[in-house]
Amino acid sequence: MKLRRFALPSRPNARDTNPCTTAQRRRWPTTTAPSTSTAPPTPPGWNVSPANSPTCRGKEWWRVRSAPHLVVVDTDGGLDDALALLFLARHPAVRLLGVGSVHGNVPAPAAAANALRVLELAGDDHTPVALGADAPLKQDVHFRHPDDPLGHLVGPPTRQPAGESAAEQLVRLTRAHPGEVSVLALGPMTNLAHALDVDPDLPRLLRAVVAMGGVFTGPGNITEHAESNVHHDPDAAARICTAGFDLTLVGLDVTRQVTPTTSWLRALAADHSMPWAAYAQLLADTPREQRPPLPLHDPLAAAVLLEPALVTCRSGVVHVDTTQDNTRGRTRRDEEATAGPAARAAVTVDVPASLRLLLSGLLAGQ
């Protein structure tokens, strides 16, 4: 399959006050790509190996960036987590350094097993998966899908989790690659909070954190006020939102808008190496008005990690409600606040571009 062109974010040297703009990002010109017989001028930081180089995997050399995006994924083991992880595992511009499991959709051990199995399905038998937090910081644990539907779908893995915790793994990898590692948080932020306890310099050492979490307009998806990832550990989310990370929240405001089209589902169903192919085909054959809502929450966050220009953002100090009343887990953005670290919240999304990027990554190499 012909490799599609991807726009890759450059590595920032300082905190970007508006990283959802693209003026300072390296991107391929929007003109028609050259034919394989004529290579374009080499952009800075890109590989100039010949087309038969192993780095290029047989593709045009100008399609492959020489410095991969280093990513650590934190996952709570749901089906949309699986699509996000597969997207990154197959994407040619990504180097997965590690995966951590956390409570949320399922218990942390089940989330680790699911991540290992998805990596195996992607042909990745080396990326370590570490067990993470099995409970929130200050409240009882609650599982969104305790029957573990993904585990039943993909089956058990052949590998075992790594010997260190998810927090220890994140700190180790970040210290080994200071300023280069991005974290994709797809569940509660408990592991990030524990990692911050281990190394208070983590906000300075990490390149960026993109978290699927929060809702700033409209209702929540677990209570009237709260999005589920934040609600499963509001105390951890409150710490991370004010710790000084280069943080982007991809919340329900945008993820609810990104739902698969019939053609998208048919393309996904054509990948028979994945155990959800038959389910995708069943959904594609279901009339759209009878199809259940299928927002691509975690996959969109993964896409935004690689291509921030898919969304526009508003910056401000993000407050997470940690009270014990019915607003617990509510997220609010204060754009007028002058004290405290600011975070970004996605407010609009380019839906067609998001679906194209996701499908290209999910089917890369197929």
List the single range of 61-70, 194-203, 281-290, 356-365 with lowest mean pLDDT: 61-70
How far apart are the C-alpha atoms of 143 and 290, rounded to whole Å?
28
Residues 325-348, mean pLDDT to the nearest whole number? 91
Which two three-digit tokens encode residue 154? 């993909």
- The question of whether 297 is a catalytic residue gets the answer yes
pTM over 0.75: yes
| Rounded distance between C-alpha atoms, residue 230 and residue 251, angstroms | 10
pLDDT tops 70 at residue 339: yes
> Is residue 184 predicted with pLDDT exceeding 70?
yes
Beta bridge partners of 250: 212
**Residues facing residue 100 across a β-bridge:** 74, 130
How confident is the model at residue 66, as a pLDDT?
A: 54
Q: By three-state DSSP, how is residue 241 classified?
A: helix
C-alpha pair distances (Å), 71 with each of 94, 309, 330:
7, 18, 28
Q: How far apart are the first and last CA of the chain?
A: 7
Given a contact cutoff of 8 angstroms between Cβ atoms, the answer to whether 248 and 208 are in contact is: yes
Q: Torsions phi, psi of 101, nearest 5?
A: -100, 155
Please give the order of strands across the beta sheet that includes 311-320: 129-130, 94-101, 69-75, 181-185, 208-212, 247-250, 343-349, 311-320, 331-334
The answer on pLDDT for 70 being more than 70 is yes
Tens digit of each residue's pLDDT (9 = 90 or more) over 80-122: 999 999 999 999 999 999 999 999 999 999 999 999 999 999 9
User: What is the spatial distance between Cα 316 and Cα 341, in angstroms, rounded to a whole number?
Assistant: 8
| Number of other residues whose CB lies within 10 A of the CB of residue 338 | 7
Mapped onto helix, strand or coil, the DSSP state of residue 61 is helix
Provide the token pair at 56. Answer: 């290029």
Mean pLDDT of the region 17-41: 36
Task: Work out the percent of the chain whose per-residue pLDDT is above 70.
Answer: 81
Summarised one tens digit per residue, pLDDT across range 218-243 is 999 999 999 999 999 999 999 999 99
All structural domains of the chain with their residue ranges? 70-259+295-362
The mean pLDDT value for 196-200 works out to 97
Band of the pLDDT at 336, cuts 50, 70, 90? confident
Distance between CA atoms of residues 190 and 198, nearest Å: 13
pLDDT attached to residue 169: 98
CA–centroid distance for 70 within its chain = 12
Question: Domain spanning 70-259+295-362 has what CATH number?
Answer: 3.90.245.10
* pLDDT higher at 52 or 93: 93
Which tens digits make up the pLDDT trace of 139-159? 999 999 999 999 999 999 999
Q: How far apart are CA 335 and CA 82, in angstroms?
A: 34
At 117-143, the pLDDT tens digits run 999 999 999 999 999 999 999 999 999
